[in-house]
Amino acid sequence: MLQPDLAHLARDLTRIHDAVITGASPPVQPRALVKRSWDRMLRLGLDPAGANRRVVDDEAEVESRRQRSRLRLVVEEMRSVLLRAPDAAPFILVVTDVDGVILWRDGAASARHQADSLGFVEGAHWSESVVGTNAIGTALAEETDVQLFSAEHFESTQHPWYCSAVPVHDPHTGALLGIVDISGPAMTLHPAVQSLVTTAVRLAEARLMIAQQEQLNSLRDRMSAMLAGSPGPALVVDDEGWVAYQQGVRSRDRIEAPVADRSILIPGAGLCLPERITGGWLLRPTGDRRASVILRTAADPPVLDIDSGANPFVVPLTPRRAQILAAVTSAGAAGISAAELSRHLYGDCDHVVTVRAEVSRLRRSIGALLATRPYRWADGVSARVE
């Protein structure tokens, strides 16, 4: 039986939606989050009638995305939490990657059948730019929990639905991993749905933390026994650069993610060449403790030439990152603070947070070559600008 309050709300939202879409004055303004999203959709020129082209990856690409997603480690547990009730409401559970591509979908057969007609299927791209305002895409765009009801969706074909989406983050780095969403017929929305999804996501994040620690412990136990009789410094890390074991060297908890045949500068050990092992990487010094870098600002795009001896390589740069490295190089051994770098780039000290975020992203590309507090080239690195 329809809930009168939901039916009344759906009618009100439809009037608001139709007025905004046609350029008329709505009886009441939509929620701020919804208005921001609708404004983005109107600027993109999406069709509110739902005739926007769907993008669906093939099975091979979906499986490849699943294998790359850390959410594969917890999707079964989320299914258990959200779909375990035998008399569960007619909703579906959807898990996407960071691009908004649906990797897993499960739930009530009736809801899945209705979702098929919307293209709400595994492999579908459900970002705002493809299908308009929806909880998954808007949660990605706004980086927050989102619940949308009926005509708060941009496409009218989605108005018969509610959607409750919560972003999932890496518990160690804070990086966005994807979205968990529950969707169902609008008139079946229960007040507890959003808190249910939030609880499932928090449990998933906790499980991811435990899983990573278990993997690091396993890697440490295995490699410490193997390296016990081996002289010289060594570092063992997982695929993302988290340190599982160190011998004869003191490293921070995480280094840049290793890449085959590309040496990494490890403070105290010098240049190390990654060696692939099961579950991660083994890094040992190459014997060369120096590296030279050349910042080529005249290139299009700018690049950083890195010569670490045996295997030189080139890192493409954005103009902003080239500016940062030019400022760091000019500062010399004394380095440059985040506040000074903000003044250099923006003319004031009001962009310190932006500067730190940009440098953090830059260090993912060049790793420990760039030291922090203050920002400077690491010991053993000679740098020049051309």
Q: pLDDT tens digits for 80-114?
A: 888 875 455 789 999 999 999 999 999 999 999 99
Among residues 192, 377, 185, 176, the alpha carbon closest in space to that of 293 is found at 377
| Res. 27: pLDDT tops 90 | yes
Task: Measure Cα distances from 38 to 34, 55, 99, 103, 133 in Å.
Answer: 6, 20, 20, 26, 7
Phi-psi region of 380 (alpha: psi -120 to 50; beta: other; left: phi over 0): left
Q: Tell me the average pLDDT across 307-331.
A: 83
CATH of 291-385 given 1.10.10.10, 3.50.50.60, 3.40.250.10, 1.10.600.10: 1.10.10.10
pLDDT for 88: 55
Tell me, yes or no, if the pTM score tops 0.75: no
Following DSSP, what letter does each residue of 237-289 receive, concatenated? E-TT-BEEEEES----SB-PPP-TT--EEETTTEEEEEEEETTEEEEEE-S--
CATH number assigned to the domain covering 4-209:
3.30.450.40
Secondary structure of residue 168 in the 3-state scheme: strand
CB atoms within 10 A of CB 8: 10
Where do the domains of the chain lie? 4-209, 230-285, 291-385
